[in-house]
Amino acid sequence: MKEIENNEVAFLSRKLLDLNKQLIDSEKAKTRFLSLIANELNNPMTALLGLIPHLASENSEKREKILELAEQEALHLDFHIQNLVAAAEIENGEIKMSYSLIDPEELIDEVLKGLKYWMKEKNIQILIENNLKQKIVTDPQKLHLIIKNLLANACAYGNADSTVKIAINCNGSKLNIDVNNQGEAPKVEFKPQIFTRFAQQAGGSVHGLGIGLSIVRGLCELLEGEIDYDTDGESVTFTVTLPLDTKLPDSEAYGSNEFLFESFNDSIEL
């Protein structure tokens, strides 16, 4: 009996120690996040505010240049805000799913438009290999943000002058979307943490807010899919696996009609 009690005390102490460590880490993460927010939101905004007055310039060549810079900053800002809104919605449980029939390749093209300056900056080429010749049923906004985060990461962490490969494959009843980039991969021993918040590698270069992959995982789960990554030393591939639905049900209430029309006759009332 005594031994059991001792074991229990040892177990609880370890647990307490663990929780204490988590608390300290979480305080650190909060502080870091706030300073990141300050930079990542403030810098593009300051740039925008600085650029806008110059748009009054007469010189049309100069104006075009400024417009381009302003668009670049606005796209950065928009991306961060989209991610923050998504994280807040997931954490609040108020995310609404809205399914429709879409062509994944068109959606990827749309994402690429929003990332054109990221690619230009590092001279990154995009290669899309689409082996799926049909449309799929999914929530386009969610998938858009998933792919946008993966591609933005591929641009941020990928080597300059390299090619980012996107592959869309159908694997039985699953849809796989692979995003592959040349460059240093997250370390394998870091894998359990990579999809959690604020998990940027210590010592590595810091990009963004450190919430992208946690949002990707959250959104993949909402779509009843998964996210994982693999590396071969020179490149890293992130794979999104989603259920492959190709038919939109007649009912508007997709995913929510499981028993709307079933009666609750003979049910228990509490």
Partner 1 sequence: MIQGCSTFIHVGQIHVDTSPSAISTVLGSCVAVCLYDTALGLGGMNHYLLPFWNGNGLQSPKFGNIAIPKLIEAMLDAGSSINRMEAKIFGGASMNIGASEAMMIGQKNILVAREILREYRIFIVAEDVGGQNGRKIQLNLERGKVQLKYTTRSDIGNGG
Buried b (16+ CB within 10 A) or exposed e, 66-105: beebbebbebbbebbebbbebbebbeeeebeeebeebbbb
Coil, helix or strand for 192?
Answer: helix
**260 lies in the site for partner 1, by CB under 8 A:** yes
Which tokens is 92 given? 């609040």
Evaluate whether 242 touches 177 at the Cβ level (below 8 Å): yes
Residue span binding partner 1 (CB under 8 A) among the ranges 9-17, 59-67, 154-162, 262-270: 262-270
Decide: is 244 part of the binding site for partner 1 (CB under 8 A).
no
- Residue 242 CA neighbour count, 13 Å, CB half: 26
| Choices 4-12, 147-155, 171-179, 187-195; region in contact with partner 1 by CB under 8 A | 187-195
Distances (CA, A) of 217 to 104, 108, 223, 270: 19, 18, 10, 37
Say whether residue 172 binds partner 1 (CB under 8 A).
no
Q: Which is nearer to partner 1, 21 or 62 (CB)?
A: 21
Among 189, 232, 250, 266, binds partner 1 (CB under 8 A): 266
Size of site (CB under 8 A) for partner 1? 33
Distance CA 214, CA 197 (A): 6
Give the nearer residue to partner 1 in terms of CB position, either 200 or 214.
214
x/- letters, 75..114, toward partner 1 (CB under 8 A): ------------x--xxxxxx-------------------
Q: Which of 214, 235, 237, 241 is in the footprint of partner 1 by CB under 8 A?
A: 214
Q: Which of 137, 181, 197, 209 binds partner 1 (CB under 8 A)?
A: 197
Residue 230 φ/ψ, nearest 5 degrees: -140, 155
Query: What is the crossing angle of helices 104-114 and 60-92, to 10°?
Result: 120
Q: Which residues pair with 177 in a beta bridge?
A: 168, 240
Choose, by CB under 8 A, the member of 159, 193, 201, 239 that binds partner 1. Answer: 193
The residue ranges that bind partner 1 (CB under 8 A) are: 22, 26, 87, 90-95, 192-193, 195-197, 214-215, 217-218, 221-222, 253, 255-260, 264, 266-270
